[in-house]
Amino acid sequence: MLLRALGLAAALWLAACGGGRRIVAPPPAPAAPVQDGKPSGVGPGAPADTPPRVPLAAPASPIKPSPLGARRPQARGVAQAERATFEVRSYRTPDGAVLPYRLFMPDGYDPKRKYPLILVLHGASSRGHDNQQQLSDSDGPRYWASAQVQTLQQAFVVAPQADPQYSPTWVRAWRPPVKQDPKRPEPLELSVDLIEDLSKEFSIDRSRLYVVGYSMGGFGAWLVASRHPDLFAAVVPIAGGGDPSYIVGTSAEIWAFHGTTDKVVPVRRSRQMVAALKKAGKDVKYTEYPGVNHKIWRLVYQEAELPVWLFKQSR
């Protein structure tokens, strides 16, 4: 009898404690990212590995979260783009310099039509010459080739790869153009030459050239807009930076992104660039993600307004 009573008591105790299972309270809801001083409404779609953020007191923006961003580790549109064809190519100069790149051509390409072109600049981890790594860097090329984006506007997507044998980053100096060694040109300048070459081969809309870059590529995006102020219609630097005094001459429209707790590229680098443009009277868009570190690309590609805004820009 005593043993039966003890067994009954133990069963009741386990039931009261949830059957021995650990009960975990749900995490707090993340804060919405701040766009030009206002939350952009993308926070609820943040990936699970982003740090928790403190809710903002400001109301949410009317911008709706993109259908691309609710899934991990890749967005639905990105997963679909894995089936898209990125042609393996290399651009070669008369002096023998080589720029590996991948090219996405719009489905049903018609040479009688004009198509925008998006240049995607990768981060430092994708440097090399295998002509493969840049496709997976920050999901950028796959995102812009995704069915959702291409449905909005068919466009060429060009993803070059920076080879360290020519330069440690996209350039040898993050400032005005340095004298180019014909045999060891900077990958950034090779990428600009590549656009010229592709414009001769395909029906490219020269008034709708765009550049998007993440991290090292974000620096590249800022710099190419500075070095070639009248080439691109729009520039999207993600977690990058540059020379604030040098960017003010660009005529490109800019939408920059950064996480406030970025320890790789401090958020002040984007803030300085944006402040310089605003001081010069330029209209610039800027979105910060409170409490988020360097890896913000999934949040950026959840911004439903981004591709719509990009394709509206024209020179």
- Return per-residue pLDDT of the chain as tens, 315 residues: 444 444 444 444 434 444 443 333 444 444 556 666 544 443 333 333 333 333 333 333 333 333 333 333 344 444 444 456 899 999 999 999 999 999 999 999 999 999 999 999 999 999 999 999 999 878 899 999 999 999 999 999 999 999 999 999 999 877 666 677 888 899 999 999 999 999 999 999 999 999 999 999 999 999 999 999 999 999 999 999 999 999 999 999 999 999 999 999 999 999 999 999 999 999 999 999 999 999 999 999 999 999 999 999 999
Establish if 24 belongs to a structural domain. no
Establish if 272 belongs to a structural domain. yes
Establish if 5 belongs to a structural domain. no
Cβ neighbors of 98 (< 8 A, separation 6 or more) are 90, 91, 92, 129, 163
In the numeric block, the tokens 């068919």 are attached to 154
Q: Are 86 and 65 in contact (CB under 8 A)?
A: no
Q: Which helix (H) or strand (E) holds 136?
A: helix 133-136
In the numeric block, the tokens 């004298």 are attached to 179
Establish if 236 belongs to a structural domain. yes
Establish if 146 belongs to a structural domain. yes
Establish if 136 belongs to a structural domain. yes
Establish if 215 belongs to a structural domain. yes
Establish if 10 belongs to a structural domain. no
Q: What domain range includes position 105?
A: 33-312
Q: Judge if pTM exceeds 0.85.
A: no
Question: What whole-number distance in Å separates Cα of residue 254 and Cα of residue 278?
Answer: 11
In the chain, how many domains are there? Answer: 1
106: domain CATH number?
A: 3.40.50.1820
